[in-house]
Structure formats: structure tokens, C-alpha cells
Amino acid sequence: MSVEPAPTIVVGVGQAGINVINRIHESDGLGWGDEYDKYFDYIAIDSSSNEVRNSPDKATQVDLRSPRRNIKTDQRAYPYLTESLQVGEKGAQRQRPVGRYKLDNTDMPSWDAHYEKISNAIEGHMRTCRQDPDINAKQVNVIHVHSLGGGTGSGTFPLIAHMLNEITGNLSGSAGGMNIYTAGVGVVPEIMHNLDTFSPPGDNRYYANAYAALKDLEKLIDADKHDPLPVYLYSKIANLNEGLTTFNIDRLDPQEQITSSPYRHYFLIGVDEDQIDGDNKQGGPETYRSMVNNTMMSAIYGLSMYGNEIENWFETAEGNFQFGSFGQTQLTVPIEDVRAYCSLNERIEELRAEVEPDEEERDGDLVEQRKEKISERETLEAILEDPTEILKEYEDSEAIRGDVAEQVERRINSGNNVIETTTEEIDAIVDNLRESYGDRIVAYAMERAEKRIEEEGAGIRESWREVVNSKYKDLEVASEDGYGHNVATTSEKVGELQRFLDDKIEELEQAVEDEAEDDGGLLSGVSDFLGSGGPDYQEWLEAYRAHKEDLNGYQRNRDQLRALKQEVRSRRADVLQDTIRPRVDRLNDEIEELRERIEQKEDDLGELIEDREDKLDELTDAEYGGRIGRLALDERKLREDLDRETLEEELTSLSAFHEQGYLARDLGEQIEGRIGQSYAWDSTLMSWDDEAEDGIGNRATAIRDIWMLHSDENTDLPEFDITGAGRHEFRRSDEEGVFPSFEDPYTVQFLSYTLDSPLTSLQVYTELDRAAEEGWLDAIIDVWDDYRLAFAYPEWYGREIQKVFAIETSTELPELPELDETKITVQKESGELKAWISSHGLASYLWNGDEWDDFNGYITVDGHEYAGWKHYLSEEYGLTYNDMRDVVPSGRTAELWHAGEITWEELLTEVQENLIEKHGVEVKLTRG
């Protein structure tokens, strides 16, 4: 690599800071590569244990725990802890004072323990880098990342900034010649509209927190030896304050002082609360939150990749240029989507080969497999219908046919003797053929046996039909009432004939038994049939019995024939059920499975084709977000020319896509557009208020850099014009001694840095300041009664802030002489004058002194003239004349003074007590 990166420790505080840590650790710098990971180390600090644990394994984890002691005790000892604050176990819940408290409290681990842990982490990374023979860096970066609008990151950053400044200062002597550079990165809300006409989105505490944090940041940056910033570590002095109901800052000495800015530079990153805390809307190819985190990650990575040369860049930013911002954008060929498109094409062709086979290459495809199985099933089903089809499965079918015929003819009797064939004979046929040819041939043999039985038993069936029809006719069954009507078949006639004979036999048996007389009923018919003469019941009975026996004999022969046929049919069915039917059923299952597979693959094919078209639409449609620009590709080239081989062997970089005509639009124009998108100095955040009191500063000497980062494969990019960016330095990866190589060959990245001044001219600062002054900041915050509760370091501010936290301060005021009523010029009667003095005069006298229009005289004490207390109380503590009227006694106390029952000194004592109780100001009265 042409330039070596600088070892960098990223200190991520709060959720915002830890998110950036994770992004740096998880990524390869959006194109730089894993080899640079060893240059980075991380410190994760938060008051939420879960957030700390979610930081990278290699990170030093600093868990700011809630004290286990009674919070009420600490609320008396810590001036910034008010009763309205909620101190919970997890996080600071966007309460800046709670964030500060979780870092600086008396519980363990203590402030000193946190200090030592962070110091060891920084020193350890520096030592590791010095001991690595491959690292020859001359600089170490310490980057402090946090939110200005939350609780932990925002509430702790002044103390952590001071801590980092102390640590790096102590380590500079043992850094082995390496410079230590400390920078801050803070996230603030972008103010899109005037706060007096617009209710801003997101958690409304964010805006009060951001305002208070910006004021703290201003204090940090402006600190110097002549105006040091006190650092009170209440975990070390809290015991001095226990039991107090108010806190007197003047009774304590700060443990340390900040005498210079703890940051070499401080970069502000603006966020749109409507997106980051609302819908988290998609900002093109990535979410808005990801865009913010990735921008910070890329910019921090870029600072480290600038290597040792960044010191020269800093030198150009001397003076007041401590504040700035950065932007990041990139153009990329969506290579993973291109690879996915090639994979879709390959998969489509594979599926088509299975469900839409080429006529010349059908082996193995699902459609052909299914056709073959359907044909096999049809063959088997034909066998089930006609077992003679079995012979088609044997090559020696004619020999088998002859053998089967010989076995059947030998075992099954001919003619009427066919019914004499026994089960043993059938078994012999089955056993012999099964042994010779297997189970399936038995079905064919039984088919042949059934035909022989049918043929040889024809005489039995015919004799049976003739006997039935003859007897049915001769006995005139059809003419008898109750018999033989609507009978057509031989089988039906048998039934009627049997019933007729059974009835006749039963009647004759009864007649013989009773020797009854013929009454012209049934027996008369019998008589006609048997001939004239007297009734001989016994003879008739024997005749009917003979008919029935004869009929039964023929019926038995027929039934035996049927039973024999049923036997061979059963044998045939068993064989078919055991051998052929399972094969048919199995084939049915296989055919159905193949059908389902084919349909599924056809559905898959259709979906893949749709997916490919969707992917093609994505690839041919450029997608631009706030940070990422996905280049659109040419549809014709993708459809006609792109395949896996071309992609892997020829399209190996962004330049190759451009040179071979795969880009849908001119690359140079798109680069110019992306560069315009990356200007940090054109962001809403970096807009300046031209009416700010301290002015904009000398922007002609501001730092405005654009860094173009690309791989070695993309050095030959098309010409592009960036003169529209205004005054700037343009640097790129292929310049000697600027950046190491950028590894992603399909991406070109742009980083934009600006350093400008001052902070107090930023639009976001002046807008929040105006909102606070005019009351709009209180109006938009519905969680707190007073926006000043967001100030976690009230001791740095005047009475206007401190009084919200009931902090006491001390001041010396001249003890004014007793009011001389004779010098009052107001024309009133004695009683009215006393009432007027009680309600207005005393307060005006103490406030204005000799500048009071209605007081004709001067206040002189020991030869010195005084003009009242207004100068002290208004300028230093923000009190007003109405505040003075509120603390000056009236009513009974004033009456006692007028009556001479209390002295002037006693009246002033009550004024002093009221100032402490109502405004936290301790007044000491002096003379001279």
C-alpha cells in the first residue's frame, strides 16, 4: 500500500457511538479490506449493558452502571440531579444529567476505574501497533463519537473529552514518537424550519439536549489558560454536600480544569429526526439510519487512511477552524445483483432442460421419465385386463404358452367330467408353473384354465338350462298364482321353480298326513296334471319330489362348475394382486410424484423468469440514495452478452463495465453528480446564520477537500468536471503518497471534508438559541417543564441556568444606608406614602439607588457613591426588578420598620434570606 493508515482508537459512547463502532468493525471500510482491521481498536461506553455487550468482541467495554445507593441521597449531593429526572437501571433515557451521573458517581467502578480502563485500552493499542513490524505509523487517532441529543453520549461527552485529553496528554511522552490526534464526532438534529412555526419531529427532548450540548461544546472549545473551565467530579466531593437542600458551588474547588480544547477538530453530523427516529425511511438502497452510520464510518475510516500525511492537512486548518462536517457518497456497479442475475439465467436453463427438454437430448429429464412410467403402467394395466398380455414380458413366450396349455389340459378333465377336477389338480398347475416361470405366469395359466373349464363345462351348463326350462314349462309354474310372473332369465326361473316345488311338496305332505278331502283348491290342479281318478296324494308327492331331486342334480353340477371357475379366477386375482397391482400402484405414485415435481419446477421456472425480469429491472434502473448511487446497466447487453464466463473473466471492475458498454448512462456525468451529492459544506447542517453576532469568519481559508477513492483497476476512469464544487482540494487514490489502494473494484467513493468557523454561527445553533430565548424551546418540549433541565453542567453557566437546579452562589453587595423618606419626591400623604414605599419604594431603592427617578439624593457610604444592586444581580445572576420586588419585605415587616420596631439591618437580613430561598443567591453585605 502506498500510504500506511494511522492506528485509530474509536471511542463510541451511547447508542449512536456504538452503532458506528459496529459498522467500522463489521465492514471493510466499504471497500478498503480486512487487512486494515489491525489498525483499529474500539472503546464502547454506555449506561445500557445490552448496548455495551453488543459492541465488537475486541472492544474495551465500559459499562456505566446505576449506583445501588438511594438516589434521593445523591440528589442532595449532585446539583444537576433534580427530582424530575428518572434514574433507571438501563440507559439514561435521553436525560443528559442522568448520563453524566452514571459516569460520575460514588459507586464502583469509580471514575478512576473507568479512567484507568480507558487509558489502558488506548495505551495497549498504541503499544501493539508499535510492536507490529508491519506498522510504521507516526500518528495515532483517537476519535470520540457520540450523539448530542441523547442521554449517555450527550451527557458524558464533556467529561469523557476531558478524560481523553488527559490520557492522551499523559501518553504523548511514551508514544514512541507517534503524534496523538483527538477529534470528536457529534450527531445533532438538522433544523429544517423555524421552531416558532413548526413542531419538529422525533423525541422533543432531542432539541433541548442538542442545544445544551452545543453550549457545552462551545465552552469546551473556548477554554484556555486565561479562562479555564472547571471540572467538578462529584463522585469525589459528594460527601461534602450530603444533607444540603441546596448546593453552593462557591464552597467547592474544582478537582481539575480544562485549559485548552480537548479536540483538535470537531465534526458535526446532522440527522433528520423524522427519518432517524420516525419511520426510518428507506434512503434508496439503504435505510436512513444506515446511511448516517455508514457516512460516519466511512469518514472516520478515511481520516485513518489519510495516514501520517493528515498532519499536513491539519496545518492548513490552524486558527478557529475547529468545527466542520463530512459527507460521503459512492457510485457502484451492483455486482452482487449482477452475479445473482447470472445465477438466475443458469438456474432457468437447468430447469428448462428438465421440464422443456430438447428433442435430441431427452435422457434423464422429468417429462421423459414420466412418459416412460406411464407407458409401463399402461402395459401392466393391460395385463390386469387380459393376463395373456403377460407373455409379452417373456422372450420365450411361445414355449411358455405351450407348456401352460399342456399343464392345463392334463390336469383339468374334459367334457362333463370337468367338474371332477380337484383343488389338488389346480395346485399342481400353479406349483409347477411358478417353479418354472415365477409368480406372474400363474395369472396367465389361470386365465387359460378358466377358458378350458368354460369350454369343457358347456354341456353341463346347457343341460341345466334345458332341464330348468322344461320343468318350468311342463309344471306350468307361470300360470300359478304367485309364481313365475315377469321372469325372464334361467336363474330367475330356477328360483321360482324351487319355490313352487317346495310349496307343492309341503301341501302334499300335509294332505297325506291329514288324509284331507280335496276341496277344489291346490289338489284339483294337481289332479288335472296327474290324470283323472281319485286323488292319490302319496303318488303326487313322490312325483314332485322326483322333479326336485332331478332339478337339484343339474343345479349341483352347475354349481360345481361355477366353483371350479371361481377357484381359478381367485388364483389369478391373487397373483395379479400380489405381483402386478403393487407395481401399478407404485407406478401411480411415481407418476404423481413426477407430475408434482414437474409442476413445481414449472412454477419455479415461472418464478425464476419473473425474478430475472425483476432483477433486470433493478439492474437497468439507477437507484440513488443520500449516500449510495447504484449504476444502471444496459438491458440489451445484459440480455444478449452477459454470462458467467464474461462476468468473471472480463467484467472485473467498474472501468470494464464502462469500457464494454454495460453502463446505461455516461459514467463521467454520474461521477460529477455524485461528487455534488457529497459536499459536506452544502449540507443543511453547515448552513450559516449571516446575522450571527460573531459573523461567519474567513471562509476563503476554510478547509474543503474532496477525496476520490478507487481501486487500482479503476485508475482509467472517464474525464469529469468538478469545478462546480467551488474552492476545494481534489485528491484521489492513485496520487502518490495520498491513500492506500481501495480494494472494491466495482465502487468509486467520494469523501468530502470541511472545516469552517465558528460554531455559534451555525444555523442549527442560532435557531436553537433563538428558540430558547424566545420561549419556543420550552413550547415544543412536553416532557419537561423547562428546557434548562437538559443542562448537565449547570456550574459552567450563570444564574439563569443554575437557578433551575437550586444551585447557591455567593456575591458581595454594598450595604446601602437606610432609606431617607425625606428625599422621596413622590407627593403623597403620610399613610399613602408608607404604603407606596412598602409596595414599590423599597424595591426601587435597593435596585436602582441614586438612579431612582423618585429619589432626590445620592447613596454615599464612606465617601463612595453607589447605584443600587441592579448591576450585580442582573448581570451576574439574571435577576430582574420584579425578582427584587419579590424578595423585598412588604406588609407586616414593612409596617414594623416604619414604626421603628425593627431596624434597617433586620429588614436587609430578611432580603438576604429571601434571595437565598427564592433564587439561590447568597448575598454578603459590605461597607466601603
Report d(CA 494, CA 264) in Å as an integer: 122
Task: Specify the residue for cell string 445507593.
Answer: 69
Give residue-wise pLDDT tens across range 193-220.
776 666 777 788 889 999 999 999 999 9
CA-nearest of 813, 760, 847 to 921 is 813
pLDDT band at 532 (very low <50, low <70, confident <90, very high): very low
pLDDT band at 56 (very low <50, low <70, confident <90, very high): very high
Give residue-wise pLDDT tens across range 147-183.
999 899 999 999 999 999 999 999 887 766 778 899 9
Give residue-wise pLDDT tens across range 866-911.
567 887 787 667 788 888 888 888 778 888 888 888 898 888 889 8
CA of residue 823 relative to chain centroid, distance: 79
Give residue-wise pLDDT tens across range 733-770.
877 767 777 889 999 999 989 887 688 888 889 889 98
Report d(CA 745, CA 921) in Å as an integer: 67
Cell numbers that stand for 569 in this block: 379366477
Average pLDDT value for the chain: 84
Q: Which pLDDT belongs to residue 197?
A: 61
Does the pLDDT at position 317 exceed 70? Answer: no
Find the mean pLDDT for residues 247-270. Answer: 83
Q: Which pLDDT belongs to residue 123?
A: 94
pLDDT band at 107 (very low <50, low <70, confident <90, very high): confident
Report d(CA 94, CA 212) in Å as an integer: 13
Q: Which pLDDT belongs to residue 516?
A: 47
Burial profile 504-514: b = 16 or more Cβ within 10 angstroms, e = fewer? bbebbeebeee
Report d(CA 758, CA 698) in Å as an integer: 10
Indicate the DSSP class of residue 436: H
CA-nearest of 384, 324, 200, 187 to 274 is 200
CB-side exposure of 195: number of CA atoms within 13 Å? Answer: 28
Report d(CA 9, CA 114) in Å as an integer: 16
Find out whether 647 and 614 touch, Cβ atoms under 8 Å: no
Cell numbers that stand for 654 in this block: 467498474
Give residue-wise pLDDT tens across range 263-296.
988 999 998 887 876 555 555 678 888 889 999 9
Find out whether 539 and 530 touch, Cβ atoms under 8 Å: yes
- Give the percent of the chain with pLDDT over 90: 33
Does the pLDDT at position 402 exceed 60? Answer: yes
Q: Which pLDDT belongs to residue 168?
A: 93
Does the pLDDT at position 809 exceed 80? Answer: no
Give residue-wise pLDDT tens across range 324-381.
899 999 999 999 999 999 999 999 998 888 877 665 555 557 888 888 889 888 888 8
Does the pLDDT at position 678 exceed 90? Answer: no
Does the pLDDT at position 819 exceed 60? Answer: yes
Paired strand residues for 267: 185, 324
Q: Which pLDDT belongs to residue 697?
A: 52
Find out whether 77 and 105 touch, Cβ atoms under 8 Å: no
Classify 325 as helix, strand or coil.
strand
Q: Which pLDDT belongs to residue 307?
A: 66
Parallel/antiparallel/unpaired status of strands 323-332 and 747-756: antiparallel
Q: Which pLDDT belongs to residue 12?
A: 97
Find the mean pLDDT for residues 312-320. Answer: 54
Looking at residue 867, its amino acid is A
At a CB cut-off of 8 Å and minimum separation 6, what does 827 contact?
A: none
Q: Which pLDDT belongs to residue 665?
A: 93
Q: Which pLDDT belongs to residue 1?
A: 47
Cell numbers that stand for 250 in this block: 462557591
CA-nearest of 801, 795, 806 to 159 is 795
Q: Which pLDDT belongs to residue 608?
A: 93
Does the pLDDT at position 775 exceed 90? Answer: no
pLDDT band at 43 (very low <50, low <70, confident <90, very high): very high
Find the mean pLDDT for residues 218-231. Answer: 91
Q: pTM of the prediction?
A: 0.69
Report d(CA 238, CA 458) in Å as an integer: 124
CA-nearest of 65, 95, 104 to 255 is 104
335 vs 80, which has greater pLDDT? 335
Q: Which pLDDT belongs to residue 879?
A: 82
Cell numbers that stand for 759 in this block: 460554531
Q: How many other CB atoms sit within 10 Å of the CB of residue 499?
A: 14
